[in-house]
Homo-oligomer: A and B are copies of this chain.
Amino acid sequence: MKKLINAADAVLAESLAGFGKAHADLVEVSQEPRYVIRRGGGRPGKVALVSGGGSGHEPMHAGFVGTGMLDAACPGEVFTSPTPDQMIVAAEAVDGGAGTLFIVKNYAGDVMNFEMAAEMLDGESATILTNDDVAVESSTHSQGRRGVAATVIVEKIVGAAAERGDDLAALKALGDRVNAASGTMGVALSSCTVPAAGRPTFDLGPDEIEMGVGIHGEPGRRRETIRPVDALVEDMFRAIQKEIAPEGEVLLLVNGMGGTPLLELYLVYEAVAKLCAKEGLTIARSLVGNYCTSLEMQGCSVTLTKLDAEMKTLWDAPVHTAALRW
């Protein structure tokens, strides 16, 4: 295993320390328990948005803490759920007296621990569960579809609505709506290596890919031989189309898994754009880059979200975080 680390068990503490220093104008980092909050903590009267999950998906979620997006993020160990105590302390640190909204990707450990935190937390809370991955119905770590890259879109849109003062019930409904309007499918060209494991999560032959891969390297729909990207993207596009039946305007997120050159991600964008044109869809908004990664995995995911006027306004609203800013 070759990694830019000192020791497997120090990865998270040291990386988070660097993140905190690099973005000291935006965030505060706590190591015990581990969480990242907006500098200055909660805003009185504002619903607090709290997310989290296993590390290894950076910039998700700590990179989305800041104005117009998350109030707090709780990173677990790599590909491991954070604990309820992290969530509770983080939620308390950003409490504005208007309730807490948890944004949780659908994995058994995350669901269980965030549920426990919600029960133990004083004050009102609600949870948005993202499950945008259309590849498989259930998976290694999830009952039902996995939550993947559309979580970024949920966090951005709901974050903007929270910033303008929407209440907890409205935000919960909005987040559920964005999640339901979104579909994602991923493909892996290589595995990644969890530092504590020291070897690749799975093995792929020199010409093999995993179509429908999960962001922890979970199996997808099939192991197959690599084909031209237009063909791969068409399979991903059709799978998403079948689930969300897009019409009119969409948001397109072409997400790198961590080890894919930007040159290729824009090529994927072009492949999706050609399909959208053929289907009469307008890519009204888009995002291309590494947002919901799987360490150094090579591959990408494609997310489509059906847009309405409100979602567009909220997407365009100012955001100031380490990883998204406009």
Contact = CB atoms under 8 A, between A and B. Distances in A.
B263 A11 contact: yes
Q: Which label, helix, strand, loop or mixed, suits the secondary structure of the A interface? A: mixed
Contacts of A56: 261, 263
A269 B6 contact: no
A192 B260 CA distance: 11
B261 A6 contact: no
Given A261-B58, A261-B258, A298-B259, A229 B5 contact: yes
A14 interface: yes
Interface in A188-207: 189-190, 192, 206-207
Nearest to A268: B4
Interface in A268-294: 268-271, 273, 283, 286, 288, 290, 293
Contacts of A55: 263
Contact of A5 (B258, B267, B325): B267
A185 to B, nearest CB: 14
Interface string A1-43: 0111111000110111111011000000000000000000000
**Could you say which interface size class chain A belongs to?**
35 or more
Nearest to A322: B288
Contacts of A300: 4
A248 B258 CA distance: 34
Contact of A228 (B7, B21, B290): B7
A267 B229 contact: no
B228 A264 contact: no
A92 interface: no
Contact of A262 (B189, B230, B270, B290): B290
Interface centre among A189, A190, A207, A296 (most CB of B within 10 A): A296
A264 to B, nearest CB: 4
Given A4-B232, A229-B6, A296-B298, A11 B267 contact: yes
A187 B283 CA distance: 38
Contacts of A211: none
Given A229-B4, A293-B262, A22 B288 contact: yes
Contacts of A19: 266, 269
Contact of A21 (B11, B261, B269): B269
A160 interface: no
Contacts of A21: 269-270, 273, 283
A178 B266 CA distance: 31
A283 B229 CA distance: 42
Interface of A: 2-7, 11-12, 14-19, 21-22, 55-56, 58-59, 63, 78, 187, 189-190, 192, 206-207, 209, 226, 228-230, 232, 258-271, 273, 283, 286, 288, 290, 293, 295-296, 298-300, 325-326
